[in-house]
Amino acid sequence: MRELPVKVLVYLNFLDLPGGLVNPKKSAAADAAPTAQQPAASANGSMWLRDQVCEGLRDRIITGRLRPGDRLMEREVAEEFGVSRVPVREAIRILLSEGFLQALSPRRIVVRGMTREDVENLFDMREALEVLAARRATERATADQLQHLAKLLQAARQATMSGTPERISRANAAFHHQIMELAGNDLLSTTLGSLEGRLRWLFQQIDDPHPLWDDHRGLYEAIAAGDAERAADLSLRHIQHYREVALRVLFEEPPRSARSLQA
């Protein structure tokens, strides 16, 4: 019998359960008659499952369905996603490295809360990297890339009008991600990319997203006009403003101007 291509094998494995998750019983039966191409298919399938579990858990943390202090049990997560514990363990390892989870002990993994220092550090990174990304994007963006950025800006406006926090956070994160891509710096993309999940979490905390979209519109206009200095300046002011918004919303901390008046 002619062997199926690797992509077909992977696809058939994903169809075993609704939602594209592998049925462990059927997988075990398939393993009884291995082919030369199955190891690659199995490896690809394992990575796919890991990514699905990782994205699912990350979304639940970002949207607040999993709250700081909530404990993750490998067995329960595996049952919920319909997978073995291996992709769950790998997903947890990724989320630990991203700062979404915390290991209180080898067997006790909980959702990690963001401290004031965490938030300050995240905004410090944004100031250092996103301002540079805005400048480089302005210098390097093509007409087609600017057209795509305009579409993302419009999508963010529609999300803002919908009033749905999760939709708003995704749309605004996509806009920032595209500016990062336009910068054309792989090292910058990799560094900022590792922060994207936490940036989405920050966007979820904003109590009034309309000024956020106004800031993004101004930033887009500066990039489209080829004004790198203005784009960098708007990016910096945008980040500094939302640092204060985040600190106020998360820690009930007054703006810096108000603090200086109180001093």
First-to-last CA distance in the chain?
Answer: 82
Q: pLDDT band for position 42 (50/70/90)?
A: low
Q: pLDDT per residue over 98-107, tens digit each?
A: 889 999 998 8
Cβ(141)–Cβ(223) under 8 Å? yes
Q: How far lies 175's CA from each of 46, 116, 117, 135, 262, in Å?
A: 30, 26, 26, 15, 37
Q: What average pLDDT does the segment 108-117 reach?
A: 93
Amino acid letter, 39 = P
User: Cα angle at 134 between 128 and 136, to 5 degrees?
Assistant: 100
Maximum CA extent, the chain: 82
Q: pLDDT band for position 193 (50/70/90)?
A: confident
Of the CA atoms within 13 Å of residue 234, those in its CB half-sphere come to: 20
Q: Give the C-alpha separation, 212 to 94, whole Å.
A: 30
Structure tokens at 65: 């369905």
Q: pLDDT per residue over 129-180, tens digit each?
A: 999 999 999 999 999 999 999 999 999 999 999 989 889 988 998 999 999 9
Q: How many CB atoms lie within 10 A of CB 9?
A: 20
- pTM, full prediction: 0.71
Q: Give the C-alpha separation, 250 to 183, whole Å.
A: 31
Distance of CA 156 to the CA centre of its chain: 16
Q: How far lies 217's CA from each of 142, 159, 223, 234, in Å?
A: 18, 14, 10, 10
Cβ(87)–Cβ(43) under 8 Å? no
Distance of CA 226 to the CA centre of its chain: 28
